[in-house]
Amino acid sequence: MTVPGKNLESFTIGRLSRETGCKIPTIRYYEQIGLLPEPGRSAGNQRVYGPKHLSRLAFIRHSRKLGFSQAEIRQLLNLSDHPEQPCAEVNAIAQRHLDEVNRRIERLESLKGELERMVHACQGGKVGDCRVIDTLADLAHGQCLSPRH
Amino acid sequence: MTVPGKNLESFTIGRLSRETGCKIPTIRYYEQIGLLPEPGRSAGNQRVYGPKHLSRLAFIRHSRKLGFSQAEIRQLLNLSDHPEQPCAEVNAIAQRHLDEVNRRIERLESLKGELERMVHACQGGKVGDCRVIDTLADLAHGQCLSPRH
DNA sequence: CTACTATCTCTAGTAGCTATAGCTTCAAGA
DNA sequence: TCTTGAAGCTATAGCTACTAGAGATAGTAG
């Protein structure tokens, strides 16, 4: 039997923050946008969390660290709430994300190339002769990539 | 002699947009944040641009495509306005940016690794057994990288 | 009971734009 | 000259994913 009226595993937002490494305002923000369910409240109106909140927040944080967007995380959370369904969709989201990461890497590699050419071309004289400034000023040089990195 | 009262090379925001590939609201936005100087106005209050605006906007666009931030671009524009000064600072900005790009590539590569492991571990059953969901739910698995990509 | 810390709500700010509403101006054709 | 349609104007709000601050209240240790 557990102590009546008191949840064995319940804690404040501060402890949730410490355990997940997620800042307090961010936790409240996740609640606000509906990623985290609203927790119970103490008599004095303070949030009271349980283990389910902890694991859900952990899921969210890990997903964010892997670069999934809020929208993707919403889908993934939805799917993880329905363990009976086939996981093809989960995999599709992850695969799409992986593809996107690969595209970003490609873009950054080509960016890196252009930046290196630019930096190496500069001989360290006056700004007036600087190849970096020259290259940047060159509109026609614009077969470089889209602004998304 | 040029025609008095009429600039030989002056054009509207629409043409500036077409020539630089920069959208009209973006041009106005650059003006608002002080990256582009305020142009003259026609009798009917429409913006009138000249070649200097064109080259400055080209500079900005190219820099953005290379991933420089507004703050960096501001510095670069400042420097390019003073061609007598040594270009060490220009080079330093570019080099710092290149370093940052390299760091981003590293982070993305390691992200890619984790995503690939995750995707490959999934055998395509039910969500309940899905390794992708499992991996995401695992907080302790959190030696992965910072949320910045 | 008094400090002190933790938490509360609400608002506004960040970067780098993009979109919308409702208006005015300009250029070309009839 | 009139009309029509495209292009331009301002102002405001929205996007992502948070972060920071003000000012008030709650909880806790001594």
pLDDT digits (tens, 9 = 90+) for B68-120: 999 999 999 999 988 888 888 898 999 999 999 999 999 999 989 988 988 88
| pLDDT score of B8 | 62
Cα A53–Cα A59–Cα A64 angle in degrees, nearest 5 = 125
Footprint of strand C on the protein (CB under 7 A): A 12-15, 17, 24-25, 28, 45-47, 147; B 23, 25-26, 29, 42-46, 64, 69-71
pLDDT digits (tens, 9 = 90+) for B117-143: 888 888 878 888 888 898 888 765 644
- The average pLDDT across B32-56 equals 95
pLDDT class of A146 with cuts at 50, 70, 90: very low
Cα A4–Cα A7–Cα A11 angle in degrees, nearest 5 = 150
Neighbour tally for B39: CB within 10 Å: 20
Chain A residues 89-128 within an 8 A CB cutoff of chain B? 90-91, 94-95, 97-98, 101-102, 104-105, 108-109, 111-112, 114-116, 118-119, 122, 124-128
Query: Helix-strand-coil percent breakdown of chain A, rounded to 5?
Result: 60, 5, 35
Q: Is the pLDDT of residue B147 over 80?
A: no
Give CA torsion, residues A100, A106, A110, A115, to 10 deg. 70
| pLDDT score of A38 | 95
d(C-alpha B95, C-alpha A120), whole Å = 10
| pLDDT score of A31 | 95
φ, ψ of residue A35 to 5 degrees: the values are -80, -35
Please answer whether residues B75 and B63 qualify as being in contact, where contact means their C-beta atoms are separated by less than 8 angstroms: no
| pLDDT score of A70 | 93
Q: Is the pLDDT of residue A4 over 80?
A: no
What tokens appear for A107 in the block? 């873009």
pLDDT class of A85 with cuts at 50, 70, 90: confident
Please answer whether residues B73 and B60 qualify as being in contact, where contact means their C-beta atoms are separated by less than 8 angstroms: yes
> Which residues does B110 contact at the CB level (< 8 Å), separation at least 6?
B144, B145
Cα A17–Cα A31–Cα A15 angle in degrees, nearest 5 = 15
Neighbour tally for B72: CB within 10 Å: 18
- The average pLDDT across A99-124 equals 89
Q: Which amino acid is at B145?
A: L
Q: Which amino acid is at B79?
A: L
| pLDDT score of A140 | 59
Structural domains in chain A plus CATH codes: 13-85 (1.10.1660.10)
Average pLDDT, chain A: 86
Please answer whether residues B114 and B144 qualify as being in contact, where contact means their C-beta atoms are separated by less than 8 angstroms: yes
